[in-house]
């Protein structure tokens, strides 16, 4: 008991330290500057290069995913390149060097570009637009089910024809020599879906402006993913980070290990270094083989580095609730209870519906504790007394009046777009409200407070409806639009741009740049990435062939999940798996009650070690991937705090930032080597080792 109390006190001390460490940079700057023209120009070029590199690496080379994490290695690599060039220029003329503020602006633009060009938008959009025609056959009858309900201008093929058309066949198998890319049929669908995408992204930007002061200044969340770029950029004005020997000791570990792994790729006789194990390889006897399913011991140095920056109670909760969820599933099987799977997600249904309850309670709680701030925001939006001052209002990404009405307007306009194209207005509003204010909000919190490198949920808004009504009752037109909308915005949350915008707003505290000007830089990064990545994602399949020569998951696997899930409901809903009818409402209620309990206990008792966010994330793919690095970081930090106190934490922090720099830096280097060797000699291109998050 004494040991637990001591750990809890350490967690509280750690939380206080995180708050103190951010307080210095959280206050509004007395003097903030506009973004300099050279920073915008270099940022625009870097954003374009980032979008190109991410597309080539993830869709063509299919080696390492350097754009879909919430801290994309591609953005870090571009920042390091710009820093190196700037320092070289400064040796010739300090007048032409970049300041730390310039570097942070460039990084934020590259952050937006990496996410936009990857899973955040483009890599999901293009393959989905012609998927019903590409995948249509006599068995699935996608043409007969979906095409008649697709409005003109939403897809590049002719929905009146049942056969696989040349525009889709050539996309999968590549063009014949001398044929031109059919650009024209893609223009209107891309513009249509792009308009919806930018409305949703503007809603994210408005939500970021509304949340920043609460999450950064009031709650003092740690924002671990924002700390490394702030250290790197700050080193430009106050050299310390790259001169820190402890940091380089941390960086050297992944550099050496991935160097050995690369040599093994080139020369298999050199022993490999294993960084991933599965518990199911060692536990095979029932019922404990159920516990071992999806329990992977993955060593990610970058994840360990980021997790080390978190409070210990958050770290403990993430791995504790993950293992508890595995024990829950084991007990269900041991007592012969059915464990149907959650549609389109890895956990069983009873875990998924606990997650739904947890998300709804958490999102409500986030708004509840933000009441004083939101009241002042509302007063500012209406021009009433009691709102924020003009100076405080000017220190945000958007004026509060613009943020409030822009958020409402974006949601209504997006709902109108969906209604015009075949979705019921009530369903469109439900999907948008749950997607933005529940799913995206909790995912953003999982990054800002829990340091999750990868955001992924365990449910879609349709799963809430599934609990109370049959899905087939929605009708064919709704099901068709849901297949597109879920694939683009809801089913795969990796690369969620809301988290990037919030991290960028936290990064802005380390610069002298006006946040209002930074908002324009973020928008420019997104637009440039869209303009670069969309043509590339159309051009490349027609020249290489999407099937067999590009990323199979993004081209066929991901869009196929949504369409294959909805096609079964066009006539009548299939019988629910055994146990689903009682498990959905029961475990939804369990999730609500459990999260309320955890939240109240955490609010009432400082020693309470369990964080409700760990419970909400327990079944997600992100936790499956990163629970073990979280466990290791918790162990390292607990020992550091207990035997060395906060002074030891401050001294070891650069070591763990070095782990991130080393692993992500090596990833970018290997992508570049792979790409260059493929250009020079495609038959002898240099292979890249696998990374635990790639």
For residue 201 the two structure tokens come to: 């992204």
The pLDDT value recorded for residue 11 is 41
The pLDDT value recorded for residue 391 is 84
Output DSSP code: residue 340.
Answer: P
Render pLDDT for 206-219 as a digit per residue (tens, 0 to 9).
Answer: 999 999 999 999 99
CB of 651 closer than 8 Å to CB of 22: no
Three-state SS sequence of 211-279: HHHHHHHHCCCCCHHHHHHHHHHHCCCCCCCCCCHHHHHHHHHHHHHHHHHHHHHHCCCCCCCCCEEEH
The pLDDT value recorded for residue 687 is 86
For residue 685 the two structure tokens come to: 């291109």
The pLDDT value recorded for residue 436 is 97
**Distance from C-alpha of 437 to C-alpha of 461, rounded to nearest angstrom:** 11
Give domain status of residue 239, yes or no. Answer: yes
CB of 142 closer than 8 Å to CB of 484: no
Give domain status of residue 171, yes or no. Answer: yes
Packing angle between helix 100-117 and helix 515-544, nearest 10 degrees? 40
Cα four-point dihedral sign 650, 655, 661, 663: negative
**Distance from C-alpha of 339 to C-alpha of 351, rounded to nearest angstrom:** 9
Secondary-structure breakdown of the chain: helix, strand, coil percentages, each rounded to the nearest 5: 70, 0, 30
Give domain status of residue 689, yes or no. Answer: no
**Buried b / exposed e across 593-615, counting CB within 10 Å, b at 16+?**
ebbbebbeebeeeeeebbbbbbb
Give domain status of residue 447, yes or no. Answer: yes
Cross-strand bridge partners of residue 296 = 278
CB of 450 closer than 8 Å to CB of 529: no
Give domain status of residue 694, yes or no. Answer: no
For 607, the enclosing helix (H) or strand (E) is none
**Distance from C-alpha of 388 to C-alpha of 377, rounded to nearest angstrom:** 7
**Distance from C-alpha of 64 to C-alpha of 261, rounded to nearest angstrom:** 14
In 10 A of CB 269, how many CB atoms? 6
Residue with tokens 């650069």: 654
For residue 555 the two structure tokens come to: 């081209």
**Residue ranges, the chain, pLDDT below 70:** 1-31, 694
CB of 210 closer than 8 Å to CB of 374: yes
What pTM was computed for the model? Answer: 0.93
The pLDDT value recorded for residue 31 is 63
**Distance from C-alpha of 297 to C-alpha of 279, rounded to nearest angstrom:** 7
Give domain status of residue 693, yes or no. Answer: no
**Distance from C-alpha of 140 to C-alpha of 632, rounded to nearest angstrom:** 46
What domain count does the chain have? 1
Give domain status of residue 396, yes or no. Answer: yes
CB of 570 closer than 8 Å to CB of 476: yes
Give domain status of residue 436, yes or no. Answer: yes
297 backbone dihedrals φ, ψ, rounded to 5°: -95, 95
Domain enclosing residue 314, as ranges: 2-175+185-684
**Distance from C-alpha of 620 to C-alpha of 351, rounded to nearest angstrom:** 10
């Amino acid at each position: 008991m004494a040991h637990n109390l001591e750990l809890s006190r350490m967690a509280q001390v750690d939380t206080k330290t995180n708050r103190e460490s951010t307080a210095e940079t959280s206050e509004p700057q007395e003097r903030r500057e506009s973004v300099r023209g050279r920073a915008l120009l270099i940022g625009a070029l870097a954003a374009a290069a980032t979008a190109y590199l991410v597309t080539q690496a993830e869709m063509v080379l299919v080696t390492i995913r350097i754009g879909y994490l919430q801290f994309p290695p591609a953005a870090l690599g571009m920042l390091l390149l710009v820093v190196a060039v700037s320092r070289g220029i400064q040796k010739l003329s300090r007048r032409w060097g970049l300041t730390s503020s310039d570097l942070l602006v460039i990084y934020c633009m590259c952050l937006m570009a990496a996410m936009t060009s990857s899973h955040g938008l483009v890599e999901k959009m293009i393959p989905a637009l012609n998927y019903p025609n590409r995948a249509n056959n006599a068995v699935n009858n996608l043409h007969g089910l979906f095409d008649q309900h697709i409005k003109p201008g939403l897809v590049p093929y002719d929905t009146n024809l049942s056969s696989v058309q040349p525009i889709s066949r050539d996309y999968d198998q590549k063009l014949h020599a001398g044929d031109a890319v059919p650009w024209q049929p893609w223009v209107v669908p891309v513009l249509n879906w792009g308009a919806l995408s930018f409305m949703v992204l503007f809603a994210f930007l408005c939500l970021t402006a509304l949340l920043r002061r609460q999450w950064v200044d009031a709650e003092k969340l740690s924002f671990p993913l924002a700390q490394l770029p702030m250290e790197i950029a700050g080193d430009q004005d106050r050299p310390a980070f790259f001169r820190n020997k402890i940091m380089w000791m941390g960086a050297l570990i992944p550099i050496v290990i991935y160097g050995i792994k690369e040599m093994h790729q080139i020369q298999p006789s050199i022993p490999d270094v294993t960084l991933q194990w599965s518990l199911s390889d060692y536990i095979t006897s029932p019922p404990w083989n159920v516990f071992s399913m999806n329990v992977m011991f993955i060593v990610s140095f970058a994840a360990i580095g980021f997790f080390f920056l978190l409070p210990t109670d958050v770290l403990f909760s993430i791995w504790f609730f993950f293992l508890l969820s595995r024990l829950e599933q084991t007990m269900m099987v041991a007592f012969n209870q059915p464990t149907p799977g959650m549609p389109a997600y890895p956990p069983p249904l009873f875990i998924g519906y606990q997650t739904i309850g947890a998300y709804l309670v958490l999102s409500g709680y986030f708004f509840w504790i933000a009441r004083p701030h939101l009241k002042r925001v509302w007063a500012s939006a209406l021009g009433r007394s009691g709102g924020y001052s003009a100076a405080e209002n000017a220190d945000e990404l958007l004026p509060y009046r613009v943020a409030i009405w822009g958020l409402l307007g974006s949601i209504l306009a997006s709902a109108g777009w969906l209604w015009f194209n075949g979705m019921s207005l009530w369903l469109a509003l439900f999907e948008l409200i749950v997607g933005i204010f529940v799913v995206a909000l909790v995912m953003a919190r999982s990054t800002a407070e829990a340091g999750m490198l990868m955001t992924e949920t365990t449910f879609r808004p349709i799963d809430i409806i599934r609990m109370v009504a049959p899905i087939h009752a929605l009708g064919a037109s709704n099901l068709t639009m849901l297949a597109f909308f879920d694939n683009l915005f809801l089913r795969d949350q990796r690369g969620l741009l809301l988290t990037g915008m919030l991290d960028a707003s936290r990064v802005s505290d380390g610069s002298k740049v006006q946040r209002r000007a930074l908002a324009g830089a973020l928008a420019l990064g997104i637009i440039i990435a869209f303009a670069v990545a969309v043509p590339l994602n159309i051009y490349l399949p027609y020249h290489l062939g999407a099937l067999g020569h590009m990323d199979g998951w993004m081209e066929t696997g991901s869009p196929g999940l949504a369409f294959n899930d909805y096609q079964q409901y066009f006539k009548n809903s299939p019988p629910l798996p055994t146990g689903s009818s009682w498990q959905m409402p029961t475990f939804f209620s369990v999730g609500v009650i459990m999260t309320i309990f955890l939240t109240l206990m955490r609010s009432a008792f400082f020693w309470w070690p369990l964080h409700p966010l760990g419970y909400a994330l327990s079944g997600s793919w992100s936790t499956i991937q990163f629970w073990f690095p979280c466990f290791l970081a918790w162990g390292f930090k607990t020992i550091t705090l207990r035997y060395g106190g906060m002074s030891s934490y401050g001294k070891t922090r650069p070591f763990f930032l070095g782990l991130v720099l080393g692993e992500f830096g090596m990833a970018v280097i290997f992508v570049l080597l792979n790409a260059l060797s493929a250009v020079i000699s495609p038959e002898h291109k240099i292979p890249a080792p696998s990374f635990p998050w790639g």
